[in-house]
Amino acid sequence: MISLRNIEKFYQQGPDRFYVLRRINLEIKEGDFIAVMGPSGAGKSTLLHVLGMHDTSWTGEYQLFDHSIHRMDRKQRMEVYKKYFGFVFQSYHLLDDLTVAENLDVPLSYRNIKKTERQAIVADTLDRFQMVGKKDLFPSQLSGGQQQLVGVARAIIANPKVILADEPTGNLHSSQGIEIMEMFKKLNEAGATIVMVTHSETNASYAHKIVRIVDGWIEGDPRG
């Protein structure tokens, strides 16, 4: 489904290149549930943003089904992103001037779904996340944990083929975290492919496979 070949990314710091991803080769099959783990600063979020096409300044080859992402411009990538992905951002990235309900509607608006149907899906999702009472509030009026829940709800509401999640439970109470992981498990069993960055062993135990990154390298890959 997804194939990364020799992905590299660096930041230029004066005359030096600071590499964040080194020769990343990764195969992701449909239905995989992968946890990406490793120390802080290892490149985990960077890898997730390459997968989610928010980051475009990298080299290498990225194939998603029959799409050669590395050959696409920003606009084409965004179209592919909207079609296939749901993304849970580490820092939530909710739209500040939209209410909770409006934020949840955004991914649905990319799909060919009638407005009344969209409203029903939003209502259902608010209910599922026990956030009905918060639907007309703006993100700034929510706690960090509540914003994270809205971020997760937004990522899954349109039933994406691939869920990319960056520390999706970092700001939640442990029981809420487990609820989210159970939700991911069900979505995965229903066919969604999940790649999740996490420091949590509990979260990682839900994954079928763990990819460890250290200093930008996938552990176990030959370096050199």
Ligand X SMILES: Nc1ncnc2c1ncn2[C@@H]1O[C@H](COP(=O)(O)OP(=O)(O)OP(=O)(O)O)[C@@H](O)[C@H]1O
Chain residues in the site for ligand X (CB under 6 A): 11, 18, 20, 38, 40-46
Q: How far is the CB of 176 from ligand X (least distance, A)?
A: 20
Q: How far is the CB of 137 from ligand X (least distance, A)?
A: 28
Cβ distance to ligand X smaller for residue 42 or 131: 42
Among 11, 51, 59, 2, which residue's Cα sits nearest to residue 31? 2
Q: How far is the CB of 45 from ligand X (least distance, A)?
A: 3
The whole-angstrom separation of Cα 71 and Cα 59 is 11
Q: How far is the CB of 135 from ligand X (least distance, A)?
A: 30
The whole-angstrom separation of Cα 152 and Cα 143 is 14
The whole-angstrom separation of Cα 49 and Cα 45 is 6
Cβ distance to ligand X smaller for residue 11 or 110: 11
Place of tokens 């979505």: 187
Cβ distance to ligand X smaller for residue 111 or 199: 199
Cβ distance to ligand X smaller for residue 48 or 108: 48
